[in-house]
Amino acid sequence: MAQDQQPTLQNQKTPTAQQHKQYIITKILVAFVALLHVFFLILEMFLWTTPFGRQISGFPEAFAQMTQVLAANQGLYNGFLAMGLIWSIFSKQFYFELQLFFLGCIVIAGIFGAATGSIAILGIQAAPALVVLHVVLLERFLLPFLKKRWALRREQRMAKIGDENSNMSLLSSTDTQGVEYQQYNVQQEAII
């Protein structure tokens, strides 16, 4: 295969600097979900058996001791999810796909956790990710559509104003004190 025929990542569309600024709210929301999962990592890997960890989880000390290794494993997975979301924030290419994948994983994990464990996981883990996932999808698909619509409407309004201005003629007149005034004479069209 020739050098110029090899597929490269440079051939992919990358967002412009303006688009990156435009997506700042989404990046902040994704960062919030990532920080939430960094907190889960710290809680489950390092604080699980401490009084603070037991207070958050609601488990007695004996149960926390027995499940410490399992909690650390879950914490590590939460860390992977957080790192994936952080990667998506700083990625110049495929950030949408990364956000979609990692937020989707979090939603699925939260639903599974609620079904097999505590229903509270649904609100703590799945709900924030689901809300941000909707924002990501709206930004990707609805916002460009709305921008095109708004631009089209603006063009139509400007064209209408241009048509109205073509029906006007500028008249100059002088008042009794010699001051020149200009006014528009609007030609009315008959509407049948």
Tokens of 138: 């709206």
Mean pLDDT of the chain: 81
Q: Which phi and psi angles does 168 have, rounded to 5°?
A: -110, 145
Q: What is the pLDDT of residue 89?
A: 93
Residues contacting residue 54 through CB under 8 Å, at least 6 positions apart: 48, 60, 61, 64
Phi, psi of 67 (to 5 degrees): -105, 15
* Mean pLDDT comparison of 3-17, 51-65, 165-179, highest-scoring range: 51-65
pLDDT at 145: 79
Instruction: Say if residue 99's pLDDT is above 90.
Output: yes
Residue from 61, 28, 42 nearest 131 by CA: 28
Q: Which pLDDT score is estimated for 10?
A: 47
Task: Kindly report which listed range (7-11, 42-46, 80-84) carries the lowest average pLDDT score.
Answer: 7-11
Distance CA 124, CA 85 (A): 17
- Burial of 85-120, coded b for 16+ CB within 10 Å and e otherwise, reads bbebbeeeeebbebbbebbebbbebbeebbeeeeee
Contacts of 90 (CB under 8 A, 6+ apart): none
- Whole-angstrom Cα distance, residue 114 to residue 127? 11
Q: How far apart are CA 93 and CA 147, in angstroms?
A: 22
In 50-127, which ranges are E strands? none
CA distance 134 to 107: 11
Please state, as a whole number, how many other Cβ atoms lie within 10 Å of the Cβ of residue 45.
18
**pLDDT of the residue at 172:** 54
Q: Of 34-48, 65-79, 116-130, 177-191, which range is least confident?
A: 177-191
Report whether pLDDT(50) > 90.
yes
Which of 30-39, 41-50, 103-112, 157-166 is predicted with the least confidence, judged by mean pLDDT? 157-166
Whether the pLDDT of residue 21 is over 80: the answer is: no
pLDDT attached to residue 93? 86
Residue 7: pLDDT over 80: no
Flag whether pLDDT at 132 surpasses 90: yes
> Alpha-carbon dihedral of residues 53, 59, 65, 67, nearest 10 degrees?
-100
> So what's the pLDDT on residue 11?
45
Q: Is the pLDDT of residue 12 over 60?
A: no
